[in-house]
Structure 1
Amino acid sequence: MECQRRWRWFSSGWILILGVFALKETQAAHHRHVGQFTAVGTIHSLLEINGISFMDDVEVGSYNNAQRKLNIKIPWIFEALGYDYITQRRHLLVDHEQHFRWVIQYLAKNDTNLDSRNHTGQLLADCEIDNDIKIKSHIHLIWDGEEYYRIDEEDGQWENLKPEAKKYQHILESPFWTDLRKRYMNEYCVDLMRKIVGYKNLKDNVPPEVIASRRVNPEGSTILSCTATGFYPHSILLHWEKNGTLGVWGRETSSGILPNMDNTFYLQVTLELPPEDSGMGYTCVVEHIELMAPAVYPVPEKPTREKPSTLALGIVLAVILLVSCAGAFIAWRKRKSGMVVMRER
């Protein structure tokens, strides 16, 4: 038993150490670019094309065929790319309109419902680089809200997700569309990202706001929670220590790193302790690129209670409600008394 405990501690320690090194390596080197194009049209015409681009979860630009203009969201990107480069990319997008038009009309013509209703075609693409080397890239093709095909660029094979769409696979695998796909991923996804992230950070780094709490569930177990929110970039490490010692203390669960509305991130890690462990002496240790050193957050000795501000607000609202009800009652009594006086006259 003692041997198993030592082995678990040793394994956890090495995992943590490797994680810290991985954190330092990937913070500045790993980047992701996501692009989405949406085309709406009928069997007769192309009605609209919209495109939007995100890098490291920050919107960098959009395109609409009505204006035939690239809308750059971050001013310094003009400096990073140069006017000629942006103009060239705009021309490429305009040229690609004919490809979207052909796809919409071809698929609409083969639709079983041969009317003039609108159809929607979507292309979702994403790519990732690490130390300037492409490590992942994918494309998803969606028709009228249903995914028909997807491809992992590393594998190079289209995966058919709708049996009735199998008849289109030879088109995707043709030399023309294969070359177009590869050029699209290189020019729009990878090269564009390299130029932008190599010039400046898209978003300022933000340290996490961390709260450690403790509660007891109805079964008698103690639940420790460590919540980190509002941080950027997304890479972060949270682990538990007891009296300054790393170990495996109970059943640990994680929310996973989730996005916030402001393009920052959220993570919660909980630790369920056995009934015989009161939860005393625990700390949550946080590693993030914006923290100069690992930050330690002790778990409160007593279960977390409702904040005084929240309690005070509740009391104020209750008083306001009570006063409002009393005022309404007094006004009703006055009206009733007035009616009685009038009847007596």
Structure 2
Amino acid sequence: MECQRRRRWFSSAWFLILGVFAFRVTQAVHHKHVGQFTAVGTSYSLLELSGISFIDDIELASYNNIHQEIIVKIPWAAKVLGVEYITEMRNVLLGHEQNLHWMMYHLAKNYINHDYKRNHTGQLLADCETDNDIKIKSNIHLIWDGEEYYRIEEEDGQWEDLKPEFKKYQYVLDSPFWTDIRKSYMNKYCLDMMRKIVGYKSLKDNVPPEVTVSRHVNQGGSIILSCTARGFYPQSILLRWEKDGKLGVWGNETSSGILPNMDNTFYLQVTLELPPEASGRGYTCVVEHIALKTPAVYPVPEKPTMEKPWALALFIVLAVILLLSCAGAFIAWRKRKAGMHVMRER
């Protein structure tokens, strides 16, 4: 008896832990800030410097050295950042024009083609990501004439050189001066800026997922349950399987992972493979998302879902029948009309 009580207590505690973890995952909100800076010039001059900033795939701000002005594309975001903050960023970009000119001069001068007069393009891509306001990733990529030659993951802290001809410049990137600048800028202008914006207001309205649940039987007799969530935003979501309202490990689970759609929404599919002897009854897919007030429960169909090729074939057959029916009715109408015309002439 004591052993059974311990097992029950352990099971209850384990499912409680799972429930708390699921709640935390659902409440976590993922955000990503991407900055892209492009410099075009020769060994003699810097012709253009432009920058663009995206948060959660939505354009936030842009900069061009011709106008020497930061343009914030979202009015309320400009108020959140404040005039002083935006002016400080602008002054930083103005101050770095000389550094970029130096970079253009040395890279173009020592470029493998030794073509000093041609235009070259240098790019810096920086991105940072948070989940539940905790930094999870931060990267920088350096690109020269369309080819990446250095990159660094902030967590690792080591520059990875990808082109042997640029290795001699790594001492500059590793110097204490540029290391301090890199860390300071990534914290202040990537992470802190994003936190200011998303902490005030969402850049995009929350969109609930469209969920479909299906049931299939594969050639080996196994039962395949699929739960698909489409078109949701933000990307943090939880899909889990329950049987008779209980959590558990019921079979072999696989997931597509959260994938982006073209409209900046997201997609996720999870499947559960059950052995042939399983009945497949009583299963539900439970979906939790910030756009849903409460977890949504979707029962699995009791009968296998019609396969898409059969559905498509049926749709085509019905469409052909409808088309032929309409054509036949039209021909019959034309014949009747022609017959009436002939009778009138007589």
Rounded to whole Å, the distance in 2 between the matches of 1:199 and 1:72 is 16
Instruction: Give the alignment's Cα RMSD to 1 decimal.
Output: 3.5
Change (3 A) 1:101 1:161: same
Q: Which runs of 5+ in 2 are unaligned?
A: 331-346
Residues 222-267 of structure 1 deviation map (CA, whole Å, 9 limit, x = unaligned): 2111011222221111111122232222211101111122222111
Residue identity over aligned pairs, in percent, reads 67
Deviation, 1:320, is 4.7
TM-score under structure 1 length normalisation: 0.79
The 5 A counterparts of 1:126-137 are 126-129=127-130, 134=135, 136-137=137-138
Count of residues in correspondence between the two structures: 321
Residue matched to 1:269 = 270
Of residues 316, 319, 331, the one that matches 2:319 is 316
SS in 2 for 1:246: coil
* 1:62 and 1:71 in contact (8 A); partners too: yes
Change (3 A) 1:165 1:96: same
Residue matched to 1:60 = 60
SS in 2 for 1:187: helix
Instruction: Tell me which moved more, 274-283 or 219-228.
Output: 274-283
Change (3 A) 1:106 1:60: same
Instruction: Tell me which moved more, 196-205 or 85-94.
Output: 85-94
Change (3 A) 1:14 1:113: farther
Residue matched to 1:337 = none
Residues 27-68 of structure 1 deviation map (CA, whole Å, 9 limit, x = unaligned): 3xx543221222233334334333222223432122233443
Rounded to whole Å, the distance in 1 between the matches of 2:243 and 2:132 is 36
Rounded to whole Å, the distance in 2 between the matches of 1:239 and 1:45 is 58
Residue matched to 1:19 = 21
Rounded to whole Å, the distance in 2 between the matches of 1:11 and 1:239 is 18
* 2:26 and 2:236 in contact (8 A); partners too: no
SS in 2 for 1:106: helix
Q: Which runs of 5+ in 1 are unaligned?
A: 328-345
* 1:19 and 1:237 in contact (8 A); partners too: no
Rounded to whole Å, the distance in 2 between the matches of 1:155 and 1:277 is 47
Rounded to whole Å, the distance in 2 between the matches of 1:322 and 1:167 is 76
Corresponding letter in the other structure for 2:86: I
Change (3 A) 1:64 1:278: farther
Residue matched to 1:201 = 202
Residue matched to 1:95 = 95
Rounded to whole Å, the distance in 2 between the matches of 1:318 and 1:63 is 59
Change (3 A) 1:214 1:15: farther
Corresponding letter in the other structure for 1:69: E
Residues 187-241 of structure 1 deviation map (CA, whole Å, 9 limit, x = unaligned): 3212322322232222222222111111222333221110112222211111111
Rounded to whole Å, the distance in 1 between the matches of 2:315 and 2:103 is 61
SS in 2 for 1:206: coil
SS in 2 for 1:218: coil
- The answer on 1:171 being equivalent to 2:175 is no
* 1:12 and 1:248 in contact (8 A); partners too: no
The 5 A counterparts of 1:86-235 are 86-115=86-115, 116-129=117-130, 134=135, 136-235=137-236
* 2:128 and 2:190 in contact (8 A); partners too: yes
Deviation, 1:271, is 1.1
Deviation, 1:9, is 7.4
- The answer on 1:300 being equivalent to 2:301 is yes
Instruction: Tell me which moved more, 259-268 or 194-203.
Output: 194-203
Rounded to whole Å, the distance in 2 between the matches of 1:121 and 1:218 is 54
SS in 2 for 1:198: helix
Rounded to whole Å, the distance in 2 between the matches of 1:170 and 1:72 is 35
Residue matched to 2:69 = 69
* 1:250 and 1:271 in contact (8 A); partners too: yes
* 2:26 and 2:288 in contact (8 A); partners too: no
Rounded to whole Å, the distance in 2 between the matches of 1:134 and 1:253 is 27
Change (3 A) 1:8 1:133: closer
* 2:27 and 2:132 in contact (8 A); partners too: no
Residues 130-151 of structure 1 deviation map (CA, whole Å, 9 limit, x = unaligned): 6656554322222233332222
Residue matched to 1:254 = 255
Instruction: Tell me which moved more, 268-277 or 188-197.
Output: 188-197
Corresponding letter in the other structure for 1:316: A
SS in 1 for 2:305: coil
